[in-house]
Amino acid sequence: MTDSILIRPFSMEDYPAVRTLWEVVGLPFKPGGRDSEETIRQESTGQTALFYVAEQNHQIIGVVFGTHDGRKGWINRLAVHPDYQHAGIARQLVDQVEAVLESRNIHIVACLIDDGNDSSVTFFKKMGYVPHHDIHYFCKKKNRNI
């Protein structure tokens, strides 16, 4: 199935399909904040955005948003349509982000996984990611929609 999958950069024309995909897979969605079309547009044009989609027959079936701060890379918003899961598409998407980060001399890649998302924990462990139970994640949001 994955031989006809195209991994390519995200474009804003993909936004409606990506938004639908996030909803189908049950990713938390903040349309009034971080996931709004305007926010995604701004982020996707930045120097640190590594946004990719997986496409088959002109349909978006997977997405990953990667970023970096010049020192550490991040994997965000990884999703594959349920009909295409367990076919190596998520691996291809993550491999793409990791390859670009490596080409930019960034050798640390991290991801945050919501508690209870066991399938993502299993996936990232298989990809060689190591959980760090000695790290506490803190964030400060100026708006609960972001």
Interatomic CA distance for residues 6 and 25, integer angstroms: 20
Residue 35 to residue 101: CA distance in whole angstroms: 23
Determine the average pLDDT of the residues in 45-50. Answer: 93
% of the chain exceeding 70 in pLDDT:
97
pLDDT band at 145 (very low <50, low <70, confident <90, very high): low
At 72, is the secondary structure helix, strand, or coil? strand
Is 80 exceeded by the pLDDT of residue 3?
Answer: no
All residues at 6 or more sequence positions from 46 whose CB lies less than 8 Å from its CB, including other chains: none
The answer on pLDDT for 2 being more than 60 is no
Instruction: Say which residue, 31 or 58, is predicted with more confidence.
Output: 58
CA atoms of 83 and 86, how far apart (whole Å): 9
Band of residue 139 on the pLDDT scale cut at 50, 70, 90: confident
Domains of the chain: 2-126 (3.40.630.30)
The whole-number average pLDDT for the span 117-145 is 89
Element (H, E) at 6: strand 6-9
Q: What confidence tier does 124 reach under pLDDT thresholds 50, 70, 90?
A: very high
Mean pLDDT of 136-146: 80
pLDDT of residue 70: 94
